[in-house]
């Protein structure tokens, strides 16, 4: 599982010029599901993100989780994060899970996030999406927690 986490002041995702998900302050997650991912890996990553302390406290120090800050999550599937770029100039996607495996795991990931009481919006799996965001900081992390 590959995740790009961005702390945002706001983010939205459009499909066919229609907004399908949007949030104010919180996290934009770009989520790549790999063919070796399991329900256990999905749950670990959701728990890690829910408790990840990157929001500022009263002293301006990154010390609060999204649970403590009251933020929301915009979770967008992005299989290109699973690209193998070791050879040549064209990425290979053999490490990305096929849709029949990826969709249930992506849904499970978002359900785990919701189980913490976090508002979660999503894009549309497999669609061509336009993502707009205002990165706060910028604060961006790559999560590869197995």
Catalytic residues: 78-80
Q: How far separated are the first and last CA of the chain, in Å rounded?
A: 7
Query: Which tokens hold the place of 93?
Result: 């996607």
Q: ∠97-141-92 over CA atoms, to 5°?
A: 30
Q: What burial letters (b/e) apply to 102-130, b meaning 16+ CB within 10 Å?
A: beebbebbbebbeebebebbbbbeeeebe
Residue 49 phi, psi dihedral angles, 5° rounding: -65, -40
Nearest Cα residue to 123 out of 114, 115, 132, 134:
132
Other C-beta atoms lying within 10 Å of the C-beta of residue 9 = 13
């Amino acid at each position: 599982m590959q995740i790009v986490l961005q702390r945002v002041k706001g983010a939205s995702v459009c499909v066919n010029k229609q907004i399908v998900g949007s949030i104010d302050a919180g996290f934009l997650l770009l989520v790549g599901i790999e063919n070796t991912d399991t329900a256990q890996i999905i749950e670990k990553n959701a728990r890690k993100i829910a408790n990840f302390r990157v929001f500022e406290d009263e002293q301006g120090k990154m010390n609060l989780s999204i649970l403590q800050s009251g933020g929301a999550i915009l979770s967008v599937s992005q299989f290109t994060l699973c690209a193998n770029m070791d050879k040549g100039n064209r990425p290979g996607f053999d490490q990305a899970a096929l849709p029949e495996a990826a969709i249930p795991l992506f849904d499970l990931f978002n359900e785990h996030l919701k189980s913490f009481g976090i508002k979660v919006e999503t894009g549309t799996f497999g669609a061509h999406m336009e993502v707009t965001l205002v990165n706060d900081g910028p604060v961006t992390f790559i999560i590869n927690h197995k």
